[in-house]
Structure 1
């Protein structure tokens, strides 16, 4: 027999692991936890843990620098509907400590930080440095993009070699027309994959080469020299390209901080940068609205702060108005709200009702005092949780591009299924039941336009949101996509932030329309 709350926690834990692409083993000194075998070992001695003890240990190992309060542990490991008592959590920690001690661990390996909570006891400097390197390798950062580049660099170079072969034949006045379709496809794929890796200059050059190749008049004598220059320029830049310094690293999620506490926001900006977030700061609700008009934040951290009114009374109405507006206009936007304990129990009916609205959403409520670390942990977890609720299929015959998209979208935690063979489309569609479908236009045998047309003709899938993501920028292809039922159209290259924002905005609009339809 099993408890459904425990099952839910385990499912969420597995989804988080998939979203973060973590290593299968977590280590802390002589302690190790293996996700594949579900074994916990201390100094080569296996530990027999209950489900909750295992989950507790995993929580501490994943967040080895964080101090967890009892409330924080309950929020992380139990469902909201039936949380345990603090005494029950202490009992779980006590039995876990006893089992660790029996295996030879120090009795305070899980350390009590009095007045705050619990954490893993820091290791000696040398041991912690080694463990830190293991944990750092698990975090999604620029090294993942660089790894994708190195893994597929040879394949991309082969595509470029096809273009160089065309250039050589042009110099010899012996253009191989049979090679032209292959060269068009090579240029097309390079334009998309290079751009997605942050190599915008290379993407632009590849697109110009494709524009030459698709011309019916190509090659005319006056076209040969500029074509060859483009090929040589692309090869030169390709060989010098360094993905670790590319603009794709700026595609991290944008966190909008709405807070008038300068010390807090300053520390939070530092914490956000360490977690691969960009930040924008607004000290008033009006500034926040200006930022929304200019940018598309992925998530918002909003403090229900006090402002002076004409009656010289403290009132949080300004930030509450902003919160209500965001709920109405962007119901899928994840929001972390910080509120004081005094405000939380405010007897003002208007204030209380608005807080009830916030609690009804799948957002996060933090009660002061809150440290910048705690706030950033809440932001990271909420963004992943929002994404994990959205199942997406991306269909593209370019495996490199699919891998780049999976890596770039990782901070949002979307449940992503990639497919590079359109022949398996219906099988994967039925097995996955996605919330949104992303299609490329140009694919072998069956293109994205045809897939979308068939989808709209199928009764069960006619309302599935479809987003086209393609290197085709011509108006004719766009019109054709919308004519057969596309909901959105994005031209490659695209960053993870741009795509995630379009996905969330599209789903938000669709669900808002559905909600209004049902209510009417």
Structure 2
């Protein structure tokens, strides 16, 4: 539990705080009334201890202000004023107890414990949060009337979170509250209990991140705002909501893009003045690198090329030899690209068409094929139609196809041979077959040739396209992917563009918190950027490969560096794959799925895992 001490006698408060900390309370100290009021506004306290004689705002006034704003926590007045009228005034102002200085520490802490017990008793007996209800009298927690089987420590944690739903608790604060009076464990014990709680919540039908990790700080209950943001991303396939997400994405990115452009303009001015300040040079180089990696993700491929040209110029050790005119012209071209391009339409095109569908119809039922094509476009897919297998093969060679929808009238040898070849060369490519009245043996032949899903003709075009989407979502639904990149805009773009594949995505933009997030998420695959502050991707890969637990974790590098030297260095340190920015969601998703298939044996098929490249 959390206690606020408000007194200008710092030595006395330090001694009292130490006594309370020994009894496993979390304690904050304010040296005057105004500071005490700011603490009350910022944090949820279980009890406040107030001195009467305070600078600026005295204890009586602060007590009255706390009660006037509707705060119900117990308040104990601790003061040297011992007259009868003083005690009456203090209690009438809203205090729950009154202790006169000098005092006995043991008696004071006993009074504090009594007030805290009384608060638990008089407060609402049932705590409610979402679908959870907690009864402090019976020590039971229910989820939609289902009793959760919790250990005493798990119960203590969820009670702590439910009593303070907006507060973030560090592992140390959780230990102070839950292990009071016991030998405190290490922070690993907190993570273990949090994982246990999340698993029980998931079993009961709650989101597994009901307890949210605030990286670098601690844990708290998932807020309504978190849920709304999660729902926004999950429903991004809906056209109207998707447009909102895209617009918000660009608005967040636009400001950062023009800030980075300003860094480049500052460098161009400094280049004329000479000599160039090293800090300005470093900042400009970083901004050019980030623009080169992110602009293409947001529908500015030409802008990405210009930024990479600038990065190459800035990468020159003899920067004084750079041509100011050339730098200025490139910056001007980049500004024009960002200023005049119809960004919302471009971003929608870049992020919306993140599934490429090939429709094969050898009979070329024009009306039916066009309906499939139209429904696919309504879903935001980039669709192609082939009327024969030669056309289909050419499209597959030319385009990055994510899924095939093959209408088969009669499963003859040519169709089956084509499916078999397709599966052999692109084993990761999902295939949906629409067949007319397929018999058992026909279905068996189709499945043996690599078809993932069979639909019986006639099937409504909207149903067929929905099945394609569901198949893609199922392909990644069991995979936990952690993406680390220091550019939040790139992370947001990737999160939206990978959404249709159903991955369980976690993104992080600060490598300092990487290890905590890694142990918390336990990903099936890791995506790393190369160039990051503090710790770069190459170094992180080296650390992982030196740890027995993560030597087999698939690692895919996603970087703006296209040179062979950097790629060779990444593979030498243990990378499994390497992609250059910018990259479309479909390409990245398929590389992730392909790497996951290669890293794990295929179950239920009798097949051996594919050999690595």
TM-score range, shorter chain: 0.5 to 0.7
Q: Identify the range of structure 1 (463-472 vs 136-145) with the bigger mean alpha-carbon deviation.
A: 136-145
Distance 2:597 2:396 in 1: 16
Q: Report which of the two structures shows the higher radius of gyration computed on alpha carbons.
A: 2
SS across alignment from 2:319: coil
Distance 2:434 2:238 in 1: 31
Tell me: higher relative CO, structure 1 or 2? Use CA pairs within 8 A at least 6 residues apart: 1
CA contact (8 A) 2:555 2:577 kept: yes
Distance 1:518 1:228 in 2: 50
Q: CA deviation at 1:449?
A: 0.5
Q: How does 1:196-345 map to 2 (within 5 A)?
A: 196-220=297-321, 223-246=323-346, 248-249=350-351, 251-259=353-361, 260=363, 261-306=365-410, 316-341=412-437, 343-345=438-440
Q: CA deviation at 1:323?
A: 3.1
Query: Is structure 2 residue 589 aligned with structure 1 residue 493?
Result: no
TM-score with structure 2 length normalisation?
Answer: 0.57
CA contact (8 A) 2:598 2:610 kept: no
SS across alignment from 1:166: helix
Partner of 1:392: 481
Query: May I ask how many residue pairs the two structures share in their alignment?
Result: 377
Distance 1:428 1:355 in 2: 43
Query: Which among 473, 493, 496 is matched to residue 404 of structure 1?
Result: 493
Change (3 A) 1:414 1:352: closer
Q: CA deviation at 1:420?
A: 0.9
Partner of 2:296: 195
Query: Which among 266, 269, 288 is matched to residue 168 of structure 1?
Result: 269
Distance 1:269 1:352 in 2: 25
Partner of 1:432: 521
SS across alignment from 1:443: coil
SS across alignment from 1:507: helix
> Cα RMSD between the aligned structures?
3.0
CA contact (8 A) 2:236 2:245 kept: no
Partner of 2:228: none
Q: How does 1:1-400 map to 2 (within 5 A)?
A: 141=242, 143-220=244-321, 223-246=323-346, 248-249=350-351, 251-259=353-361, 260=363, 261-306=365-410, 316-341=412-437, 343-345=438-440, 351=442, 353-355=444-446, 357=448, 363-400=452-489
Partner of 1:73: none
Change (3 A) 1:371 1:388: same
Change (3 A) 1:191 1:217: same
CA-to-aligned-CA distance 1:469-496 (integer Å, 9 cap, x gap): 0111122111101111211111111121
Query: Is structure 2 residue 563 aligned with structure 1 residue 474?
Result: yes
Partner of 1:45: none
Change (3 A) 1:411 1:139: farther
CA-to-aligned-CA distance 1:83-127 (integer Å, 9 cap, x gap): xxxxxxxxxxxxxxxxxxxxxxxxxxxxxxxxxxxxxxxxxxxxx
CA contact (8 A) 1:140 1:411 kept: no
TM-score with structure 1 length normalisation?
Answer: 0.66
CA contact (8 A) 1:145 1:243 kept: no
SS across alignment from 2:320: coil
